[in-house]
Structure 1
């Protein structure tokens, strides 16, 4: 029996229906077996029992009125998971799939991701099963105001600083910030991803996608390789995917495929990002429109984007989107690296296949930490009442991501798992938080 099986059993008993959360905990605990052997004080001090249990779980009703005057009710969540190294930090997700399990898994992952950035931020996550798609600006505003009316009781610049996530962009952040300011009568850095005119940070929009590519490039260069001349497939076409495509292109790669929930497009000439941004960021349209606008591109309504032969795969859409069969197909087609831009997009059996075949694999908690890192830089700018240039923020982001790769790689070697960046990320993120928890006593 593994040393930490009792923790997993307790998590399953306490959260029997939270499938995504159990998956996330299981993946981390597998990596921490060697830590438990090397550091028995973590068992003695009950660190493992505490780190898998949120410090606070908030669930609330969100009533709002649609444009037809009909009352609608959604459910809101905020999981404040761990504040050992700083105020809770993590995004808000507005999507019909949101439930307590997904928010807990995301909040749990956020603990280690935030720790890896080297910045003083704890782990949290939140959101609602509200779907902004198809809603008018007025409906989105009314929902966001109702959501923040309750959430504002629990957050603050030194307590909990939410950001955006799926379904929560500049529009939603603006409406929520306005409501927080109205209720609390204070202008502060309570949310990140704010507009540039009122406290936002340059490069925040690009940060997760750019950071993903900075991490991937550092990993490739460590192995004598790079993005240059590589074919890249990126799932998704939202914020993370678009700016990952932009930075990969800047680094000399050719991005040949992207997707959304309706299907995927292949453009062997390289994705035209001006067209993609117009469709997805300006018109909020479907990716099928790209094939109508760009000659030579093809839209696939059915099938899997991972069937597209490529050198580098960047899953940037959602959890568990890349399965074992996809991994086998990618390997057969010559992939050399799979780096996660989304949170937990690769299933456990797919990860096993990639690792067994010596494919470079970067877990999201390391490779997509650029977004939260730049959110923390936004917090710093708000506290200092100043704004850094885009070049300053981008340089800091690049340094952070390269340092995360270095930390993850060195930790993996230290624990006899060279090139296992999942093990390295989990252990490096955990130790900083665990030591802080012990030093702060039983809290």
Structure 2
């Protein structure tokens, strides 16, 4: 069976077993393209069917979530938890509350999380979950009632040594607080079962900054490997949420100039650069849960491009930090034409397969999300450690640990992705992430 392993046959099997799940197919193909040749070269992985096993979640949990809105109406949503792989530690991954949430998206995110968590070197497995519930436009009381109903079902499947969820799109500090409070009431114990918690009840410093800071640190390592500096580089970013804002903040501190941010309605181009004062304004604007990036353009008198993404702006580096498949083939061509030399993914799978081929085919350094945005889950893992030890590290120590982890991830990408001309970061991240999980699975036995 495994002697005939090929990318085409492997993907045919994945698609046959998982019909109607395009996001999951895309994520698996991106990994398999670089991992299948490695598996073929290592008979032990092939004979044990490791890659086939890694594309099947350990379990997929779906449940009904019933809650009451402020008008007294009974509302029904669907909840999920995909526990993908716990070969190297308890399941770990975010919860996403958004109308687009479905099984395909959560399986893609959980599969990616397997490799991302492996790359951090921390002992954490991979999971993902969420609901098609939309917290936007809901009152705090409605969000509280939904979170309590959601956790009432989820509580049966999680625990500090079983599965430790975190936040994601639509699940911020407010939602985590409500979820943790309900878990604590039902479990009748205080344990670190969620990360991204408030500092008052076991949260970690640097957690909200971690994904964005980590992406900036990864770029710094990429450039240093080529004998270059980040200072003076022009950076375009999409998004204006947590990841984008903190990535912009760290890029500024490292000497870069950030000239764009965006939301679903359009993007702003500030040729003078988005400085600390302007970043603080956006944080307040977005924190109100009603501000739009267009308000920034009006306040500071810069360009606003409605209904467009920022990839046509001349830059040295691009950071897609919004959502999956936001940077397509034409966007990639625009970046190449405008002199972009590196693309670093702050979001999960924001670049389409066709876009990746354009970038790498034109010599643009491309850092996939599983490597570049691993900072968030890395600090979540450090939060778990702090909870277990009943202590709290300082912001300086945590940022130092985060930077060291991102540098280590970069080193693994170089080790497994070095080629004749430049580092293939996709191959490096995929093979390095695969090898650690695969070796653990082999150690447990073939069945």
TM-score (norm 1): 0.98
Q: Which residue of 2 aligns with 1:17?
A: 20
Q: Which residue of 2 aligns with 1:358?
A: 363
Match of 1:322 among 320, 327, 330: 327
The worse-fitting range, judged by mean Cα deviation, of 257-266 and 392-401 is 257-266
Q: How does 1:282-431 map to 2 (within 5 A)?
A: 282-294=288-300, 296-413=301-418, 418-431=422-435
Contact 1:62 1:143 in 2 (8 A): yes
CA distance, structure 1, for counterparts of residue 289 and residue 298 of structure 2: 15
Contact 2:5 2:40 in 1 (8 A): no
Q: Which runs of 5+ in 2 are unaligned?
A: none
The worse-fitting range, judged by mean Cα deviation, of 362-371 and 303-312 is 303-312
Contact 1:417 1:423 in 2 (8 A): no
Match of 1:277 among 283, 293, 296: 283
Show CA shifts across 1:118-173 (max 9, x none): 00000110011111111111111011000000001000000000000011100000
Q: Which residue of 2 aligns with 1:166?
A: 169
**Secondary structure, counterpart of 2:208 in structure 1:** coil
**TM-fit CA distance, 1:70:** 0.7
Match of 1:440 among 434, 440, 444: 444
Tell me: CA distance 1:285–1:82, structure 2 relative to 1, closer, same or farther (3 Å): same
**TM-fit CA distance, 1:222:** 0.7
Match of 1:233 among 228, 233, 236: 236
Q: Which residue of 2 aligns with 1:3?
A: 6
**Secondary structure, counterpart of 1:270 in structure 2:** coil
Q: Which residue of 2 aligns with 1:211?
A: 214
The worse-fitting range, judged by mean Cα deviation, of 401-410 and 221-230 is 221-230
Contact 2:265 2:308 in 1 (8 A): no
TM-score (norm 2): 0.97
Contact 1:409 1:418 in 2 (8 A): no
Q: Which runs of 5+ in 1 are unaligned?
A: none
CA distance, structure 2, for counterparts of residue 252 and residue 418 of structure 1: 24
CA distance, structure 2, for counterparts of residue 192 and residue 416 of structure 1: 41
**TM-fit CA distance, 1:417:** 8.3
**TM-fit CA distance, 1:416:** 7.1
CA distance, structure 2, for counterparts of residue 394 and residue 304 of structure 1: 31
Contact 2:86 2:125 in 1 (8 A): yes
**TM-fit CA distance, 1:37:** 2.2
Show CA shifts across 1:27-62 (max 9, x none): 111111221222011111121221000001001111
TM superposition outliers: structure 1 runs of 4+ over 4 Å? 415-418
Q: Considering only aligned residues, what root-mean-square deviation do their CA atoms show, in Å?
A: 1.3
CA distance, structure 2, for counterparts of residue 417 and residue 45 of structure 1: 34
CA distance, structure 2, for counterparts of residue 2 and residue 51 of structure 1: 15
**Secondary structure, counterpart of 1:206 in structure 2:** helix
CA distance, structure 2, for counterparts of residue 137 and residue 22 of structure 1: 36
